[in-house]
Chain A
Amino acid sequence: MTVLITGGSGCGKSTFAEKLTESLSAGSRVYIATMRVVDEESARRVARHRAQRAGKGYRTIECPKDLSGTEFAPGASVLLEDLPNLLANEMFGGGDWKRIAPALKELSGKCRHLVIVTNDVFSDGENYDPPTAEYMRCLAQINSEAARMAEVVAEVVYSIPVWLKGDAPCV
């Protein structure tokens, strides 16, 4: 099963996505981490997420770019966190953002369950500079493609899942 989880900053989507991944499968679990540690804040964030996952049997694969290069045992349950970081790294770090959507499809074919975390960055009514606007347009497009391919889509609103597509899996 492929699940897309969206939500705003600090809404509890990571915690929810982890619980969901753990409830979907008792088998081997892989966490694909996309965030580059560039400063103290990102280091703290990564440390918090690592602590949250500790002891839950995830193997962590660092993948700031080029998702199709990830290798893991077939049949694992994969938690991919998250699309906005992956896109920023591809767009602004000398990669190619157009390879993200095909790589997601390929990834969903390789694993038993795929839980994808993305972010709602579209609703603050601000006008951004052209590169940021282009980033938002690309993220919206990737989100839509991920939602089309997912059987289940949920928005997490302050820890509460609002199911947008498909039936709620047991969490």
Chain B
Amino acid sequence: MKLYIGGAYQGQQELARRENPGAEILGDFHDAARAALLRGEDARDFARRVCGEHPDAVIVANEVGSGIVPVDPAERAFREAAGRALCVIAQRAEQVTRVVCGIGVRIK
């Protein structure tokens, strides 16, 4: 399992494709974490389930937690859930790449 993260539109999806031809890519994982939250599924359990079901996937996500903590409780919960889920993925992944301006920085 590999993880590619970055701010919105930083090219993480493209880089993940380029560096992992033929691999299963699970894009917009932050949105999947939001959907899990709306279903009432615990963020960490959701991430563990994805790891179990897609052990060789390349996960791609936006980093969403680096702003003023939102006033709206649902938006607050979303950022927390995305963070908790991505911590699990990052721990399990053999490689984590953070993408800025299309450039990948390997942080794990």
Say whether A123 contacts B79, CB under 8 Å: no
A to B contact number (C-beta, < 8 Å): 74
Check: A162 CB closer than 8 A to any chain B CB. yes
CB neighbours of B79 from chain A (8 A): 8-10
Give chain A interface residues in 138-160, CB to chain B under 8 Å: 157-160
User: Across the interface, which residues of B come within 8 angstroms of A8, CB to CB?
Assistant: 63-67, 79, 83
Interface residue? B36 (CB, 8 A): no
Per the bound structure, the CA–CA distance linking A145 and B9 in Å amounts to 31
Q: Is the CB of A121 within 8 A of B90?
A: no
The verdict on A12 contacting chain B, using a C-beta distance below 8 Å, is yes
A71 in contact (CB, < 8 A): no
B17 part of interface (Cβ distance < 8 Å): no
**A66 adjacent to chain B (CB < 8 Å):** no
| Contact across chains for A158 and B90 when beta carbons are under 8 A apart | yes
| Interface residue stretch chosen among A54-62, A92-100, A124-132 | A124-132
- Closest B residue by C-beta to A126: B67
Interface size class of B (residues with CB under 8 A): 20 to 34
Q: Is A122 an interface residue (CB 8 A)?
A: yes
Known: A41-B73, A121-B69, A160-B107. A10 touches B90 (CB 8 A): no
B26 to chain A: closest CB distance in Å? Answer: 15
Known interface pairs A10-B79, A11-B87; A157-B67 also in contact (CB < 8 Å):
no
Least distance between A17 CB and chain B CB atoms (Å): 14
Q: A162 CA to B97 CA in the complex, in Å? A: 12
Contact with B along A6-40 (1 / 0, CB 8 A): 01111110000000000000000000000000000
The chain B residue sitting closest to A163, CB to CB, is B107
Task: Check B89–A158 contact: CB distance below 8 A.
Answer: yes
| A residues whose Cβ falls under 8 Å from a Cβ of B | 7-12, 41, 119-126, 128, 132, 136, 157-160, 162
A-B contact pairs, 23 of them (CB 8 A): A9-B65, A9-B79, A9-B80, A10-B65, A10-B87, A11-B65, A120-B65, A120-B66, A121-B67, A121-B69, A123-B7, A124-B67, A126-B68, A136-B68, A157-B90, A158-B83, A158-B89, A158-B90, A159-B87, A160-B90, A160-B107, A162-B98, A162-B107
